[in-house]
Amino acid sequence: MSKKTFVKILSVVLALVLGMTALWACGGEKEDENVLVMATNASFPPYEYKEGDSFAGIDVEIATLIAEKLGMTLKIEDVEFGSIIGGVQSGKFDMGMAGMTVTDERLEMVNFSSTYATGVQVVIVAEGSTITSLDDLKDDGSMKYGVQQDTTGDIYASDTPEKGGYGSDNVIRYKTGAEAVQALKAGKVDAVIIDNEPAKSFVAANEGLRILDAEWAVEDYAICVAKDNTDLLDKINTALAELEAEGKVQAIIDKYIKA
């Protein structure tokens, strides 16, 4: 083989290798773009919880369908509830979906999608407790309240009595609602303030507890997205509206919440 031919072959081979590398790199990039990263706190049945190694629940199923409509693959990150908003703000997560209540304070930090469910804060007490109505909940230091930290139950209960709370000193914060419920069973707190559907599952799974027949606060759940990511917010809202029109959101809710 002449030197010229050799150089020609070599350059063709090099060009091929380069081309394939470029293609492969592009493919990799595309794959990343097609992942929708959802931050949640998966100890909140029936909205999100772990079933062995996988995630289940209303939010998980709705998010899966949203990702499908967006032509993306859903990736779930299970984090502390209180770090969802910061992670969404910094771009670590694309969205936060965790039975998350829309509040004015949170709206200053993130945007919310249209709401897909209603939540009610309720009060769990031990069966036979002297607390039988919301009026029995005292702010004089004689009662302790268990909450999941950074949730609206925590925020409202920790507020001053003038603002309808019981004072921060009377609130004990736990990493999960389940831990707050264990504290109630152990007599470390007098009541747990938490969203109604998780409350029902916790009471069903633990003997000796009951939910007061009263609404402590009524709230809307929505998906949060970074303020500057209006493109994703629009896409999520469009997908949600379609899923609602198709009856799919209600079907998922009905699957997990029996009337």
What is the binding site for ligand ARG (CB under 6 A)?
40-41, 43-44, 48, 81, 98-101, 119, 148, 151-152, 195
CB of 57 to ligand ARG, least distance (A): 9
Nearer of residues 136 and 196 to ligand ARG, judged by Cβ: 196
Smallest gap from Cβ 193 to ligand ARG, in A, equals: 10
38 versus 233: smaller Cβ distance to ligand ARG: 38
Measured from the CB atom, is 152 or 201 closer to ligand ARG?
A: 152
**Residue 195 Cβ, how far from ligand ARG at the closest point, in Å?**
5
The distance of closest approach from Cβ of residue 164 to ligand ARG in the complex, given in angstroms and rounded to an integer, is 16
CB of residue 50 vs ligand ARG: minimum separation in angstroms?
12
By beta-carbon proximity to ligand ARG, the closer residue of 120 and 242 is 120
The CA distance from 129 to 108, in Å, is: 39
* CB nearer ligand ARG, residue 81 or residue 216: 81
